[in-house]
Amino acid sequence: MATAILAFTPFKTSFKVYVQNLELLSVSDIQEIEEFVLARKGIFDFNTYSFVIQKKIDFFEFEKLMQESSLHVRCINAPLERADNPRIGFGEYKGMQYSELPDSYLLWLRGNYSGMDKSLIEKECKRRRI
């Protein structure tokens, strides 16, 4: 049984976790992680090996949450570098940096937004490899 390696990144109103070794985990291990995420109303994105949960917590709270769960994981703190990152000027996430947006919203913007920030959206999608 492989131990999932979870890279934790906090955001202003949520957190994102990248499962670094998803391809090495068993189907039942992946299903347990997915159940954990769904129970917290999060979104698991199998294309990017990551999940997002809309709750503000820090790395130590995340580690405690993992210890209290039945999941066999190793946690890594992976905060984003946020220097000079532009902020979104409209919509539900107005004022947040593009690096803080959930993957799902960023992907929606990529397909539906055609304003002057389109290049920023593309750049952030490329940086995240989504």
Domain range annotation of the chain:
4-77, 81-130
Percent of the chain with pLDDT over 90: 57
Q: Supply 88's token pair.
A: 């979104």
Q: Supply 25's token pair.
A: 């985990």
pLDDT bucket at 67, cuts 50 / 70 / 90: very high
Task: Give the mean model confidence (pLDDT) for residues 61-70.
Answer: 94
In this prediction, residue 94 carries a pLDDT of: 81
pLDDT bucket at 90, cuts 50 / 70 / 90: confident
Q: Of 15, 77, 67, 58, which is closest to residue 40 (Cα–Cα)? A: 15
Please check whether residue 62 is in contact with residue 15, taking contact to mean a CB–CB distance below 8 angstroms: yes
Task: Give the mean model confidence (pLDDT) for residues 97-124.
Answer: 89
Q: What does the mean pLDDT of the chain come to? A: 89
Secondary structure of the chain in the HEC alphabet? CCCEEEEEEECCCCEEEEECCHHHCCHHHHHHHHHHHHHCCCEEECCCCEEEECCCCCHHHHHHHHHHCCCCEEEEECCCCCCCCCECCCCCCCCCEHHHCCHHHHHHHHHHCCCCCHHHHHHHHHHHCC
pTM: 0.63
pLDDT bucket at 1, cuts 50 / 70 / 90: low
Task: Give the mean model confidence (pLDDT) for residues 90-98.
Answer: 82
pLDDT bucket at 84, cuts 50 / 70 / 90: low
State yes or no: pLDDT of 80 exceeds 90. Answer: no
